[in-house]
Structure 1
Amino acid sequence: MLRAPSSRKRASSVFRSLKRLIFSRGWRRDRVRIMATTEEVQKLAALARISVADAELEKFTSEFDAILAYVGQLEKLNLPTDGAGAGKPPLRNVMRADGTPHESGAYTKRVVAQFPAHEGDALAVKQIITHE
């Protein structure tokens, strides 16, 4: 029995094709290719299961070219090459400390009074999942 590829596998395949589109095989990995071909755009559309009309193909190719040119600007960044990550700020946790923001039940009566349907202190909503 044949099965359709899962959406995760399909997405992975699309990302691999995008990666090949961005990075030319003959170039160093840090050199971004600026031009996309219509064949590559057709292949990406097929992998993403998107139908692309011939009239839209040139438009999408030029849009990919603009995206690749924008990504190509990353080559101009002056990044450290020593591999030690010089200049990186230290990692820190930006979450607040655990604690009780207010005492339990402080706002329950006001919230329940504003809700259209309730059962005691619980808010009543329409059932959307059935157990059959």
Structure 2
Amino acid sequence: MIRISMSSDESFRVNTEDMAHLATLARIRLSDEEKAALSKDLEAILGYVRQVSEVADKAPKVSARLENVFREDGKPHATGAYSEVLLAEAPAVEKNFVKVKKIISRR
């Protein structure tokens, strides 16, 4: 278990044992210097997260009115009504389809 403590000046403290545990969980090897540096970085990150949380807690709660932005259900447009416009914007077209680079291969 990782124990993150707060000091008297209300900043977070992460010790090197905690960093060693995190390194084990992440399956990475860290030197003592790296653990010390990462401890300081993690303390700074946690301090920033705390500041953001405090600001978020103090901010007024905004309740936006939800509104349906979709069109009303009804008769849809004719099939192919926008095909020419869409195909004209495509970089490559083949037999009335947008031509794209193959990115999936079958094994």
Q: TM-score range by the shorter chain?
A: 0.5 to 0.7
User: After TM superposition, where is structure 1 displaced by more than 6 Å over at least 4 residues in a row?
Assistant: none
Partner SS, residue 51 of structure 1: coil
Q: Where in structure 2 are the equivalents of 1:106-117 lying within 5 Å?
A: 106-112=84-90, 114-115=91-92
Could you state the TM-score of these two structures normalised by the residue count of structure 2?
0.58
Backbone CA RMSD of aligned residues: 3.6
Say which structure is richer in strand: 2
Aligned-pair identity in percent equals 26
Query: For the Cα contact (< 8 Å) 1:108–1:121, is it kept in 2?
Result: no
Could you state the TM-score of these two structures normalised by the residue count of structure 1?
0.50
- Partner Cα separation in structure 1 for residue 106 and residue 32 of structure 2: 47
Q: Which residue of 2 aligns with 1:98?
A: 71
Q: Which residue of 2 aligns with 1:64?
A: 42
Change in 2 beyond 3 A, CA 1:79/1:68: closer
- Partner Cα separation in structure 2 for residue 95 and residue 51 of structure 1: 52
Q: Which runs of 5+ in 2 are unaligned?
A: none
Q: Where in structure 2 are the equivalents of 1:1-132 lying within 5 Å?
A: 20-22=2-4, 24=5, 34-73=12-51, 79=57, 88-93=61-66, 96-98=69-71, 104-112=82-90, 114-115=91-92, 118-132=93-107
**Max radius of gyration: which structure?**
2
- Partner Cα separation in structure 2 for residue 124 and residue 53 of structure 1: 51
